[in-house]
Structure 1
Amino acid sequence: MNDAVAQRFKNENEKFCSECGDNINAKAEICPKCGVRQIPVSYGRVSAPNGKNKVTAALLAFFLGGFGAHKFYLGKVGMGILYLIFFWTFIPAIIAFIEFIILLVMSDDEFNRKYGMA
């Protein structure tokens, strides 16, 4: 079997290098053939270093934003309490809907920079 055909198949404990496409160990951090560091695949579940997730924050803002649930989740307790005090005016609900949209269009890097270290 030649190299081109051999590279199309991988065992269950192997993966393809993200740069050169060579078969490497599934746990390898660096490809032994080309030396490129492998990026871990997260399948869309991108979380900040502190474990906060952008989609979770957006859903909290949409469904419970009038009560400030997304603010408590993101570590902004003071703002969460302010939302709780004024929830009866529906102003926090309107602001939370706007924040819901902002969270959805915000890039993962920006979310991690803003909320990832708290």
Structure 2
Amino acid sequence: MSDAATLKSADEKFCSDCGGVISLKAEICPKCGVRQTAQPNSLGGTAPNGKSKIAAALLAVFLGGFGVHKFYLGQIGLGFIYLLFFWTAIPAIIAFVEFIILLTMSDEAFNNKYGYD
């Protein structure tokens, strides 16, 4: 294989399956058809609907007592329950636990649970 075939520019990446050079924004490799996933331990991963695990976790830790993370994740009913009981501080405690759960959850599990509207 020549050196020219293995070089990539700043706006390209290697396919996770076939190793071909593809666009940095490509979700599916045009050469082999395999869906590209976020790198493990990357902070930039987002779900197909645009929800971010890191954003949800930050909302849970800072504004979780008011249920803001629940509204962000599309769980409107639970968000209102958090708002009704925020004065008891119980939603804040639960939100802190959810913060830890969100941070330790894999990207795949987050996408399966919150990634589709």
Normalising by structure 1, we get a TM-score of: 0.74
In structure 1, list runs of 5 or more residues that go unmatched: none
Q: CA deviation digits over 1:59-107, x for unaligned, max 9?
A: 0000000000001101111111111111111000000000000111111
Runs ≥4 residues deviating over 3 A: 3-22, 24-28, 35-38, 40-44
Kept after mapping to 2: 8 A contact 1:30/1:38: no
How far 1:14 moved relative to its partner?
Answer: 6.0
Q: CA RMSD in A?
A: 2.8
Distance 2:115 2:35 in 1: 23
Q: 1:62 to 1:46 in 2, by over 3 A?
A: same
1:90-105 correspondence to structure 2 within 5 Å: 90-105=89-104
Larger radius of gyration: 1
The one-letter code matched in structure 1 to 2:75 is K
TM-score, normalized by length of structure 2?
Answer: 0.74
1:62 is paired with a residue whose SS is: helix
Q: Is the 8 A contact 2:15 2:22 kept in 1?
A: no
**Residue 116 of structure 2: aligned partner:** 117
The worse-fitting range, judged by mean Cα deviation, of 43-52 and 94-103 is: 43-52
User: Which runs of 5 or more structure 2 residues have no equivalent in the other structure?
Assistant: none
**One-letter amino acid of the counterpart of residue 49, structure 2:** N
Q: Which amino acid aligns with 1:45?
A: G
Equivalent residue for 1:65?
Answer: 64
The sequence identity of aligned pairs, in percent, is 54
